Structure 1
Amino acid sequence: MDVSLVRILICLIAGIAVIVLLTAKFRVHAFFALIIACFLVGLGVGMRLNDVLTTIKDGFGNILKSLGLLIVLGTTLGAILEHTGSTKVMANTILKIVGEKYAALAMSLTGFIVGLPIFCDSGYIVLSGLNKSLAKSTGISLAIMSTSLATGLYAVHCMIPPHPGAAAAAGIISVDFGRLMLTGIMIAIPAMISGYLWSKYAGKKIPAQLIDAAELIKGNQRLPSVIKAFMPVVVPIFLIALKSFFIVEPGTASNRINMYLMLGDPEIALAIGVLFAFNTMPSFKKDVLGPLLQEGAEKAGGILVIIGAGGAFGAILAATKLGTHLSEALPLASLGILFPFLLTSIVKTAQGSSTVAIITAASIILPLLHALGLDTDTGRLLCVLSMGAGSMMISHANDAYFWVIAKFSGLEMKTMLKVYSLATVCMGLTALAMVYIVSFII
C-alpha cells in the first residue's frame, strides 16, 4: 500500500477531529469514537475493509493482553479502599503530621497518596467532605483547599500506572512499568507542588465560603488503623520499586531470586495490595465483598474497552507507515520529547479527557519514535512521561473532572478557571521541565 504523506495526514486529522467532536460535543463514549476513527483512517488511506477489521482486532487484543489484569486489580484496590474509609485515615494522618496551619498542603499530599490507587474523580468525591470540614475549621478559602486536593490527585492520575492513560501509553510504546512508576513519582511531586503553590497564590483573594454543617464528613464509620490503611498502597509500590533496582540477566538467577523478583511484577504487586486491602474490611460478609469486587470489575471494563480501542487506533496508524513518511519529510529529531507533550496537550485541551488524550497521542507517536530519536528504552520512558505532562494541560469546562471539583466544592466557573484550570497549566509546564531534567540524568 503506497499512500502519500498528505493523504495520510488528512485522514489522521479527520480521525482526531472525529474523536474530539464525538466525545466533547456529542458525549459519545470514547470506545465508539476511537473505533469509528479507526475505520475512517484505515479506509481513508486505502486499506481493504477486511484488513482494517483484522488490524483493529489485533491492536485491541495486544494491548489488553498486557494491561487487562493491571487495570482490573487497580480498580478493585481503589474500590475497597474507598469503601473501608482507608482514604480518610490517610488524610487524617497526613493532617496530624503537617498541622492545621498547612491544611491545604496536607490535602495536596493526601490527594497524591490516595490518588496512587484511586482515580482522581473518585478520590475527590471521597475526600470532599473532609476537605470542606477543614476549610471551615481553619478559615482557609475553599478555592485553595479544593484546588490543592484536586491537583494532588491529578498529578498521579496523569503520570503513574495503574491509571489508565499512563498504563495504556506504557503498553502501546513498550515501557517498563516499574521504571515508569518510580520516575513518574519523581516528576509528579514537583507538578503537585506547583499546583499547590498556584492555588495558594490565586486563591488567597477569594473569601472563604460558609459551609452547611450537614455537608461535613460523618464520623460514625468504623475505620481501619493507620498501618492497615497505608499498607495496600505502600507495599505494591515498594515491591515494584525493589524489582526495578535489580537487573538480572535471563537464566542467571536462582529459583529463589526469581520468586522474589516475581513479587515485583505490577500485576503480582497489585494483587498483594488487594489482599492487604481486604485486611482493612471489618467483615467479609458476602453482601459487602461481592458488590465491591463487582464494582472493581465493572469500573475496569469501561476503562479497558477505551484502552483496547486506543490500541486498535495505534495499530491502524502503524499500518499506514506514518512514521516512515514523517521521518523523511520533517526534522522531528530536533523536537524530541517536546513533540509528545505538544500533541497530547492539544488533544487534551480540545476534548477534555486526559486518558483519551494520552492514548490517542501514544498511538500517533509509536511509529514516530525513531524519527524523534526516542527509540530506546530511556527514550520511550521519556516519551510517556512527556505525554503524561501534556495530558495535564488544560483542564477546563470540557473535562468531567473539572465539573466533579466544581460540584462537590461549590465553586463558581470563574473561580474554577482562575484557580484550578491555570493550576493545571503550571503543573503541565513543571512536569515538562522535570522530564527535561530527568533526560540529562538517566
Structure 2
Amino acid sequence: MTGFPLIIIFILAIVLMIVMISRFKIHPFISIMCISLVLGLLAGIPIVDVTLEDGTTKAGIATVIGQGFSGTFTSIGIVIILGALIGSILEKTGAALKLADIVIKIVGKNHPVLAMELMGWVVSIPVFCDSGFVILNPIRKALVKRTATSSVAMTVGLAAGLFTSHVFIPPTPGPIAAANTLGIGDNLLLVIGLGIVCSICPLIAAYFYATFIGKKVKADDEFDTNAVSKTYEELVAEYGKLPNGFSALAPIIVPIILMALSSIVTMAKVTGAGASICKFLGTPIIALAVGTIFAVIQLCGAKKIDEFYDIVNDTLKTVGPILFITAAGGVLGKVIASSDMVNYISEHATVLSAMGIFFPFLLSAILKSAQGSSTVALTTTAGIVAPLLPVLGFTTPAQITLVCMAIGAGAMTVSHANDSYYWVVTNFGEMTPERGYKTWTVASLVMGIAAIIEIAILSLFIH
C-alpha cells in the first residue's frame, strides 16, 4: 500500500495503539510491536529480504524490526543505563537532595518548575534531550520532595526545557544538519541567536501548561503534601551529612561539560589529537561513564561502596522496561521510515508550498508525528524545503534561518509513542502512557503551536 491510503492506515494504526494501551491495558511493548508488524505488512514491506534488479536488497519486515530495535539500543540504551545508575547513586548518598538545595538557593522555593525548565533548556544545548532528562531527573525528584510541587508539572517543565533547545539551538545535531542543508551552515551564530529568541514563546507556553496540568494529573510518585516537609527532613537526617556541592555536582556537570566541549570542537572544526580526545570523551556513552566514576567516588566517600552491587542490580531492574518500550518505539519509527510514506509526503510537498513559513512547519510536524524522531524530521524536511526556498520567497540568511526555526517547531509537534523521548519522559516521570498523552504529548503540541506563532510574527519583520 502506498500514497494517501497509507497515511490513513497510519493514523488508524496510531489510534488503535493508543486504545490498546490506555483502554484495554495491553502492555505498551506488545501494543507497539504488534502495530509495527501489521503496519509494516500493510505498507508493503516484504515478508523476507528481497534482492532488487539493481542488485540492492530491500529489507524484509523481520529485518526492519530488528534494525529498529537494535538501533534504539545503540543510540540511547547504554546512556539510559548509565544515567539511571548515576541517579541511583545520587539518591543513595543524598547528593540529589544537596543539588535540590543548591537549585532552591539560586531560583527560590517558589519557582521550581521554572527552575527545572530553564535548567533543561541550558543543558540540552550541548546534550541530547534523552540524555539530559536522565541526567537531571534525580534533581527533579529531589525538588518534588523539597518543594511539594506537582511531580507532573516538574516532569513536563523539565522535558519542555530540554526539548526546546534540542530542536532550535546548535550544537545539537538536528539544527546543525538542517542549517547546513538549507545553506546557512556558515551562519551558525545567527541560527543560535534566533534559536534562543524562538525558544521564548514555547518555554512560556510549556510553563503555564505544566503548572495547569500538574493540578489535574498525578504521577505515581505523588504523595500527600502535608507529609512532604517531614519526609524531606527525615531523608536528610538519614544521610547524616550531605555531600559537599562539588561532590554532588560532579557526576552531572562533568558529563555535560565533556559533551559541550565535544560539540564546540566539532562545530569549530578543530582537528588533531586533542580534538579527537575531546570528541571521544564527549561521546554520550563515554561522558556518562566518566560521570559514573565520579558517582562511585562519591559512594566511596559516603562509605557505602559495599552497596554498589545492589544499586546496579536494582537500577537494571528499573530501566529494563524503559529500554524495551523505548526500543519498541524505535521499531515503529523504522517501519514508517522503510515504508513509502516519507517519499509520498516529499513528492507532494509542492502542494503545500503556498503556505509560506507555515509550510516547513507543517511538513516537519507531519514527519515528526509519523516517524517519531525530531532529528529525522529536521533533516528530512530541510532536504525537501531547500530547493523550494526561492519559490517560498525566503532568500536572505535571516529568512532562511527562520525557515530552519519553523522546521524545528514542527519537529517538536508532537511527541508520542513512536518517539523514544516520550517513553523516557513518561517512564522516568512515573506516568502511565495514558497520562503521558494528557501531559507530555499535549505539551509538545502546545509548544509547537506557540513556537510557529512566534516565528510567523518574526517573519513579518525579518527580511
TM-score, normalising length: structure 2: 0.63
Pair 1:271-2:289 in alignment: yes
Change (3 A) 1:391 1:292: same
* Residue of structure 1 in register with 2:146 after alignment: 130
Pair 1:308-2:308 in alignment: no
* Residue of structure 2 in register with 1:390 after alignment: 414
Kindly indicate whether the alpha-carbon contact (under 8 Å) linking 1:313 and 1:360 is maintained by their aligned counterparts in 2: no
How many corresponding residue pairs?
380
Pair 1:327-2:346 in alignment: yes
Kindly indicate whether the alpha-carbon contact (under 8 Å) linking 2:79 and 2:285 is maintained by their aligned counterparts in 1: yes
Kindly indicate whether the alpha-carbon contact (under 8 Å) linking 2:415 and 2:440 is maintained by their aligned counterparts in 1: no
| Structure 1 residue 289: Cα displacement | 1.1
Kindly indicate whether the alpha-carbon contact (under 8 Å) linking 2:152 and 2:429 is maintained by their aligned counterparts in 1: no
User: In 2, Cα distance between the equivalents of 1:268 and 1:434?
Assistant: 38
* Residue of structure 2 in register with 1:359 after alignment: 372
For each residue in 1:256-309, what CA deviation from the matched residue of structure 2 results, as whole angstroms up to 9, or x when unmatched? 432233111121111111222223324454652122222333333322222322
Indicate the SS of the match to 1:391: coil
User: In 1, Cα distance between the equivalents of 2:319 and 2:178?
Assistant: 21
* Residue of structure 1 in register with 2:75 after alignment: 66
* Residue of structure 1 in register with 2:419 after alignment: none
* Residue of structure 1 in register with 2:277 after alignment: 259
Pair 1:211-2:261 in alignment: no
For each residue in 1:190-244, what CA deviation from the matched residue of structure 2 results, as whole angstroms up to 9, or x when unmatched? 75555556788999xxxxx983577541230232111111222222111111121
Change (3 A) 1:57 1:372: farther
Pair 1:227-2:246 in alignment: yes
* Residue of structure 2 in register with 1:24 after alignment: 22
| Structure 1 residue 368: Cα displacement | 6.3
Amino acid at match of 1:131: T
Amino acid at match of 1:154: A
For each residue in 1:292-345, what CA deviation from the matched residue of structure 2 results, as whole angstroms up to 9, or x when unmatched? 22233333332222232223223322332212222223435552134444776x
User: In 1, Cα distance between the equivalents of 2:228 and 2:94?
Assistant: 20
* Residue of structure 2 in register with 1:78 after alignment: 87
Amino acid at match of 1:225: N
Kindly indicate whether the alpha-carbon contact (under 8 Å) linking 1:31 and 1:309 is maintained by their aligned counterparts in 2: yes
Root-mean-square deviation over aligned CA pairs: 5.0
For each residue in 1:367-425, what CA deviation from the matched residue of structure 2 results, as whole angstroms up to 9, or x when unmatched? 766445599xx999975664346339xxxxxx9689969xxxxxxx9xxx9x9999877
Change (3 A) 1:85 1:213: closer
Indicate the SS of the match to 2:242: coil
* Residue of structure 2 in register with 1:296 after alignment: 315
Indicate the SS of the match to 2:311: helix
Pair 1:154-2:159 in alignment: yes
Amino acid at match of 1:61: S
1:9-20 matches, cutoff 5 A:
9-20=7-18
Kindly indicate whether the alpha-carbon contact (under 8 Å) linking 1:90 and 1:229 is maintained by their aligned counterparts in 2: yes
Change (3 A) 1:284 1:117: farther
Amino acid at match of 2:411: M
Change (3 A) 1:77 1:64: same
Indicate the SS of the match to 2:265: coil
Kindly indicate whether the alpha-carbon contact (under 8 Å) linking 2:146 and 2:229 is maintained by their aligned counterparts in 1: no
User: In 2, Cα distance between the equivalents of 1:189 and 1:9?
Assistant: 33
* Residue of structure 2 in register with 1:104 after alignment: 110
Unaligned runs of 5+ in 2: 49-59, 124-131, 167-171, 180-187, 215-223, 389-400, 417-424
Query: Percent identical across equivalent pairs?
Result: 24
Indicate the SS of the match to 2:298: coil
Change (3 A) 1:188 1:224: farther
Amino acid at match of 1:270: L
TM-score, normalising length: structure 1: 0.66
User: In 1, Cα distance between the equivalents of 2:201 and 2:261?
Assistant: 23
For each residue in 1:242-262, what CA deviation from the matched residue of structure 2 results, as whole angstroms up to 9, or x when unmatched? 121223899x83334322331
Kindly indicate whether the alpha-carbon contact (under 8 Å) linking 1:75 and 1:118 is maintained by their aligned counterparts in 2: yes
Unaligned runs of 5+ in 1: 133-141, 162-168, 204-208, 348-356, 393-398, 406-412
User: In 2, Cα distance between the equivalents of 1:359 and 1:420?
Assistant: 14
Kindly indicate whether the alpha-carbon contact (under 8 Å) linking 1:59 and 1:311 is maintained by their aligned counterparts in 2: yes
* Residue of structure 2 in register with 1:135 after alignment: none
* Residue of structure 2 in register with 1:396 after alignment: none
1:352-431 matches, cutoff 5 A:
359=372, 370-371=383-384, 373=386, 386-388=410-412, 390-391=414-415, 427=447, 429-430=449-450
User: In 1, Cα distance between the equivalents of 2:115 and 2:326?
Assistant: 29
User: In 2, Cα distance between the equivalents of 1:294 and 1:156?
Assistant: 31
User: In 2, Cα distance between the equivalents of 1:301 and 1:342?
Assistant: 31
* Residue of structure 2 in register with 1:136 after alignment: none
* Residue of structure 2 in register with 1:353 after alignment: none
* Residue of structure 1 in register with 2:395 after alignment: none
Indicate the SS of the match to 1:253: coil
Indicate the SS of the match to 1:234: helix
* Residue of structure 1 in register with 2:39 after alignment: 41
| Structure 1 residue 36: Cα displacement | 0.9
Q: Is 40-49 or 383-392 further displaced after alignment?
A: 383-392
Kindly indicate whether the alpha-carbon contact (under 8 Å) linking 2:135 and 2:252 is maintained by their aligned counterparts in 1: no
User: In 1, Cα distance between the equivalents of 2:387 and 2:297?
Assistant: 43
For each residue in 1:129-180, what CA deviation from the matched residue of structure 2 results, as whole angstroms up to 9, or x when unmatched? 3113xxxxxxxxx6xx77764543332464578xxxxxxx989x9999xx9x
Change (3 A) 1:29 1:40: same
Amino acid at match of 1:24: S
For each residue in 1:39-74, what CA deviation from the matched residue of structure 2 results, as whole angstroms up to 9, or x when unmatched? 111222344433212221122223322332222222
Change (3 A) 1:383 1:293: farther
Kindly indicate whether the alpha-carbon contact (under 8 Å) linking 1:42 and 1:52 is maintained by their aligned counterparts in 2: yes
Kindly indicate whether the alpha-carbon contact (under 8 Å) linking 1:155 and 1:189 is maintained by their aligned counterparts in 2: no
Which of 64, 69, 83 is 1:55 aligned to? 64
User: In 2, Cα distance between the equivalents of 1:96 and 1:278?
Assistant: 26
